[in-house]
A and B are shown apart, each in its own frame.
Chain A
């Protein structure tokens, strides 16, 4: 395969082209789109879905799904808020929040692999459990978090970029290296390609899947840290339905829903495209009702185009 063919067939090429085209169109449509303020805003908006989509992308590459990330995010956020209210040091509280999300992910993975229950069902259950626990812990009230630690995460910039962007960059850098340069990543692609074969060839399928769901839980908790920073509060109803946005980002990015094919970085671009649609239509003064319609169409169109492309191979 020559360099051009490689470039042309690399999953990132097309999706980045689509994103750039959309950006150009929006820049022409409105003078307010391509301004430093709006781009910063856009990136901040995208950060939470983007971090979740990274975990979701890895899960979907194994042929699974994680519906619980929004609820796990809320439970982690509430854990942080509750501990800070109880007088715990904010850094320690953050660690506990991260641990809580990781634990939820571990439980997901444990039940999926040991209980032999489809991930859709297990994580649907966790979606209810984590959200419910968040409400139980708080009694339904939101804690205000005015700790400087979180205000910095939510409102400061470093080298001209908002702090949440660094969460996104580090997350995707680590995930990308993991997926393409480590044995663990190779195993994830093998499992997504054919789980039975992966087992026959000596890959510990259950252990690798357990790690993947645990990772997704950890990233949900990481997104919670960003969320607490941005909201300066921990409402237990936060991030409801965000798991569907994360899944949509993964699909728009072109990662195969049956697993084994795709590059996690495309999920970031998928998240950006969704955010640009929302942001662009807002700037153009088009009703937010239409945004949902448009994003729905984009999701279906993305998969359809992908099918046409793979039919050509």
Chain B
């Protein structure tokens, strides 16, 4: 896997909100076709790091390289231009709008400023059916839909725009069993197409089964970045809690 160039390299990222140091020299890399589990407590800095990559926050210092080249990401649209799509945990959807409006939010199909509603509707239908998602009516406000349906719209939004890098913030948290399985299948499919996925999750079991590597954060710093299978699930949990890498020599 490491024979190809990394899709993303984040080097020495620092971010503070007023006096609060959210990230200190955080590092992360991601290779094509790889799923990296980003782990840590709430407030460990993992969501902040993801938001920096997605353009929702800007770092105070540090460097981001996309495909080996220095990248400047100041806005969500900058990130999208680099092929970075984000599926937010809090489901970044507007409840008062329908599925096509949400799918194309911020990048509406247009001609001279006028919406091309029919084209967007058709593409939404295609995007949803590609993921085997059934939605009663495309005219329904998203607020009227179940958590799973909304998550599906979020995911199809990310997939539809030919992403190279997808950030998933607890993609299965709001989902039932069947829907979760669909998401996992989808992730496998994306992997095979060479898409890199950053997966934030608290579900250790899920992470253990479906990620290639893990990056653990604690107090805004990297604890460790390593292939998932070098550790047991218990060791991963203990690293998340203690913030110290497990010493294999001692246990061996």
Contacts and interface: CB of A to CB of B under 8 A. Distances in A.
A binds B: yes
Interface of A: 1, 6, 181-186, 189-190, 192-194, 197-203, 260-261, 313
Given A199-B76, A260-B94, A190 B113 contact: no
- What are the nearest 8 A-B pairs in CB distance? A202-B106, A193-B94, A193-B96, A201-B106, A260-B96, A202-B76, A201-B105, A202-B77
Contact of A197 (B94, B137, B140): B94
A205 to B, nearest CB: 10
A203 B97 CA distance: 15
Contacts of A181: 114-115, 117
Contacts of A186: 97, 101, 108, 115
A1 B139 CA distance: 7
B107 interface: yes
The listed residue with most B CB atoms (<10 A of its CB), out of A1, A199, A200, is A200
Given A190-B97, A193-B95, 12 more contacts: A183-B115, A189-B94, A189-B97, A189-B101, A193-B97, A194-B95, A200-B86, A201-B76, A201-B92, A201-B106, A202-B75, A203-B106
Contacts of B97: 186, 189-190, 193
Contacts of A189: 94, 96-97, 101
A197 B105 CA distance: 9
A194 B107 CA distance: 17
Nearest to A259: B96
B96 A192 contact: yes
Given A190-B101, A200-B88, A261 B96 contact: yes
A202 B56 CA distance: 9
A192 B139 CA distance: 18
B93 interface: yes
B80 interface: yes
A198 B106 CA distance: 7
A228 B138 CA distance: 47
Interface of B: 54, 56, 75-77, 80, 86, 88, 92-97, 101, 105-108, 110, 113-115, 117, 137, 139-140, 144
B209 to A, nearest CB: 29
Nearest to B142: A193
A202 B114 contact: no
A1 B54 CA distance: 36
Contacts of A199: 56, 76
A1 B99 CA distance: 14
A194 B94 contact: yes
A190 B94 contact: yes
Contacts of B139: 1, 6
8 contacts: A186-B101, A189-B101, A193-B94, A193-B95, A194-B93, A198-B106, A200-B76, A201-B92
A253 B92 CA distance: 29
Q: Quick one: which of A182, A183, A184, A203 has the most chain B CB within 10 A? A: A183
B144 A198 contact: no
Most B C-beta atoms less than 10 A away, residue of A189, A194, A201, A261: A201
B115 A313 contact: no
Nearest to A61: B96
A200 B113 contact: no
Nearest to B79: A202
A287 to B, nearest CB: 42
Contact of B113 (A6, A184, A261): A184
A276 to B, nearest CB: 30
B105 A182 contact: no
B141 to A, nearest CB: 9
Nearest to A184: B113
Given A190-B101, A198-B105, A201-B106, A183 B92 contact: no
A202 B80 contact: yes
Contacts of A202: 75-77, 80, 105-107
B57 to A, nearest CB: 11
A197 B110 contact: no
B81 to A, nearest CB: 10
A203 B94 CA distance: 12
Nearest to B136: A1
Contacts of A261: 96
A215 to B, nearest CB: 14
A144 B100 CA distance: 54
A182 B115 contact: yes
A51 to B, nearest CB: 23
A224 B2 CA distance: 69
Contacts of A200: 54, 56, 76, 86, 88, 92
A194 B93 CA distance: 8
A110 B56 CA distance: 22
Contacts of B80: 202
A183 B101 CA distance: 10
A5 to B, nearest CB: 10
A182 B114 contact: yes
A183 B75 contact: no
A199 B113 CA distance: 19
